[in-house]
């Protein structure tokens, strides 16, 4: 059934973007930089970060395809490149340490945007994935206004989920601990790697249709 197929694709895109944003990865630095602040101040930083993530990804959605056209980059080439970038990020999620010291500005306003929103949460992975899906269409049938609206909604849901994750960061850290967050990050990295390999395969098929042709 087409509707079920479309829903499955929408769900896959949501999982890809959400896992690449990975709000849990931002919890350690968020807690470290908001230590001693009031609950209202923490929520304000979480809200600023979530809004910044939404704006960054919406800009990628609105301008990404146009930039590709201006630079003469085909959808197949960008899908392949995006898949490789996302795969490398997935490897880092699986093999590398989560979190880390990311520095950033000295005041809470700049910290909420840099480095928390970008590059930690809305980094190259989420941006690349949004541009890829906006360029080829979520269902793989080409870009369309309907898919763009769905993708904009997915970005909004991801931003809201990020806000909720940061809002409950302190109890989540106590519940999961550093080990739990690291385990989640590595499992999420495996899922992202699988999605990235799918994009690589799709990009190769767009660039070299003969690879996708059935063997006689």
Lowest mean pLDDT among 93-107, 117-131, 148-162: 93-107
pLDDT score, position 105: 44
Residues of the chain with pLDDT > 90, as a percent, come to 29
pLDDT tens profile 30-48: 887 887 888 899 999 999 9
Task: Read off the pTM.
Answer: 0.77
Per DSSP, helices labelled H in 22-107 are 23-33, 39-71, 75-95
Q: How far apart are CA 117 and CA 114, in angstroms?
A: 6
Mean pLDDT of the chain: 83
Phi/psi for 35 (5° steps) reads -60, 130
Lowest mean pLDDT among 52-56, 57-61, 100-104, 159-163: 100-104
Domain positions in the chain: 2-206
Residues 190-196 have a mean pLDDT of: 84
Q: Which of 178, 186, 66, 49 is nearest to 122 (CA)?
A: 49
Residue 56 — pLDDT band, cuts 50, 70, 90? Answer: very high
pLDDT tens profile 162-177: 999 999 988 877 787 7
Tokens for 96, please give them: 């590398």
pLDDT score, position 1: 43
Q: Report whether 160 contacts 17 (CB < 8 A).
A: no
Residues 180-204 have a mean pLDDT of: 84
H or E element in which residue 186 lies? helix 169-207
pLDDT tens profile 85-98: 888 888 887 887 54
Q: Is the pLDDT of residue 104 over 80?
A: no
Of residues 113 and 189, more confidently modeled: 113
Residues 147-164 have a mean pLDDT of: 95
Q: Report whether 140 contacts 202 (CB < 8 A).
A: yes
């Amino acid at each position: 059934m087409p509707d079920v197929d479309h829903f499955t694709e929408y769900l896959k895109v949501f999982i890809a973007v959400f896992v690449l944003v990975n709000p849990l990865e931002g919890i350690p630095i968020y807690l470290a930089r908001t230590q001693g602040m009031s609950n209202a101040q923490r929520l304000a930083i979480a809200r600023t970060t979530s809004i910044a993530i939404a704006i960054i990804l919406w800009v990628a959605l609105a301008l990404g395809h146009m930039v590709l056209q201006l630079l003469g980059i085909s959808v197949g080439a960008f899908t392949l490149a995006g898949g490789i970038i996302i795969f490398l990020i997935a490897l880092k999620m699986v093999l590398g340490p989560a979190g880390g010291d990311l520095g950033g500005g000295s005041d809470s306003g700049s910290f909420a945007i840099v480095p928390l929103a970008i590059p930690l949460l809305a980094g190259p992975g989420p941006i690349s994935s949004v541009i890829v899906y906006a360029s080829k269409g979520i269902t793989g049938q080409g870009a369309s206004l309907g898919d763009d609206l769905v993708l904009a909604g997915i970005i909004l849901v991801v931003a809201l989920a990020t806000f909720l994750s940061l809002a409950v960061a302190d109890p989540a850290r106590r519940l999961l601990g550093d080990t739990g967050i690291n385990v989640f990050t590595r499992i999420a990295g495996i899922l992202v790697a699988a999605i990235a390999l799918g994009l690589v395969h799709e990009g190769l098929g767009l660039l070299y249709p003969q690879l996708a042709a059935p063997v006689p």
